[in-house]
Structure 1
Amino acid sequence: MDIYLSINNREQVIKLPVLPSEFKIQSGMKNDTYDTISQGEIKLIGMETLKSISLQSFFPSKDYSFLKDREYKGWEYVNLIEGWKTKRIPIRLVITKTPINMACTIDSFEYGLQDGSGDIYYTLTLSEFKFIELNQRQV
């Protein structure tokens, strides 16, 4: 399994060098609950909410034998992701060997040093981005 982040149809691509130990997709529904006079509380099934995922791992500052990719080092990853945030465009998340391939927004990106190794530990929280499709009508 590999995890890729990219922008602008793979104009820039990051292959995560160290896979998170786990990840979970949060997928919910926008259901509403109402009180009625005759039936008490009822629930109406709404539409799906946007999916979200949080990835936790580290960007290595040096070469390790277990790395999945060696294109960038430490702070270069951080600078790329911070640059993508500044551009305010959706990114694509692809996790191979799974059906996960979705456009996302960066909700939060927390990173820092923690153990003296120089490696940058991070938490990247992404939410699904839906491209708006408008139906055009002729007059």
Structure 2
Amino acid sequence: MARQKPQFWLKYNNGAEALWLPVNPESITVTSTHGYEDIEVSNLGEYTVIGNNRQKEFSLSSFFPRDYNASYCEYTNLKDPWECAKLIEGWQKSGKPIRYIVTGTPINIPVTIRSFEYEERGGEPGDIYYTLSLKEYTFIDIAKKGTPVSGNSGAVMPKLTTSAPRPNTHSVPSSYTVKSGDSLFKIAAKVYGNGNDWRKIYDKNKAVIGPNPNVIKAGQKLVIP
């Protein structure tokens, strides 16, 4: 059985707008790449980190004919070439993906229009020649809070809560006697629950500790603000 000629389609907004390319491109160009990063590692030299597969890129070139010609046109009811160009430009400016379909092939995927170049050539008035560059688009479905997580019927996204935070019942002592092995960070972690608050203790006890907050001595009695 003879293989049917493929049809090249561009569809926008779930098929609300569609364009069947009237003249098939001479070839289907698909670029599939993989992510790599070369880094320099001390004593090892250059090292390659293998990343993830990148999205496919597509390129096609053809023209929108002004007049029907049975030798290369796929259908008779041709749209005005400039209307075709305007339609594609509108899709590109919308910032939304379109669907690229080549019948008889696995190509039926959402893409973004990366570039669209076209021209009217001398000696062929009314015909618009174009080159279209497309890149595969991946939809990201962000689950709402409280809805089941895909692939796990028992898991749900966390819900926001408006309840007041639990009050801090931790009591802070008024003083602290330094023990062997202590540091201001450790002391702050004990009395405040947060070691990053050590400076409050130091600022209150500079006369006892001295100019270096990293040097404290066992037996020193510190005021806890």
Question: C-alpha displacement at 1:71, in angstroms?
Answer: 4.1
Q: What does residue 84 of structure 1 align with?
A: 91
Matched, 1:54 2:59: yes
The 10-residue stretch of structure 1 (64-73 or 78-87) with the greater mean CA deviation from structure 2: 64-73
Determine the structure 2 residue equivalent to 1:67: 73
Root-mean-square deviation over aligned CA pairs: 1.5
Check conservation: 2:68, 2:78, Cα contact below 8 A: no
Following the alignment from structure 2 to structure 1, what is the Cα–Cα distance between the partners of residues 115 and 121?
19
Whether the aligned pair in 1 keeps the contact of 2:100 and 2:109 (CA below 8 Å) is yes
Q: Which of the two has greater strand per residue?
A: 1
State percent identity of aligned pairs: 37
Q: CA deviation at 1:36?
A: 2.1
Specify which of 114, 122, 128 is matched with residue 130 of structure 2.
122
Letter in structure 2 aligned against 1:131: F
- Paired residue for 2:221? none
TM-score (norm 1): 0.91
Aligned to 1:31, the other structure's residue is in SS state strand
The residue type equivalent to 1:96 in the other structure is T
2:21 is aligned, of 10, 16, 25, to: 16
Q: CA deviation at 1:44?
A: 1.5
**Contact 2:67–2:78 under 8 Å retained in 1:** no
Q: Distance in 2 between matches of 1:85 and 1:12?
A: 13
Is 1:111 matched with 2:131? no
- What TM-score do the two structures reach when normalised by structure 2? 0.58
The count of aligned residue pairs is 139
Report if the CA contact (8 A) 1:62-1:73 is conserved.
no
How far apart are the structure 1 equivalents of 2:69 and 2:91?
Answer: 26
Instruction: Give the Cα–Cα distance (whole angstroms) in 1 for the partners of residues 65 and 83 of structure 2.
Output: 10
Query: Residue type matched to 2:93 in 1?
Result: T
Which structure carries more relative contact order (alpha carbon 8 Å, separation 6+)?
1
| Structure 1 residue runs of 4 or more that deviate by more than 3 Å after TM superposition | none
Residue 7 of structure 1 pairs with residue 15 of structure 2: no
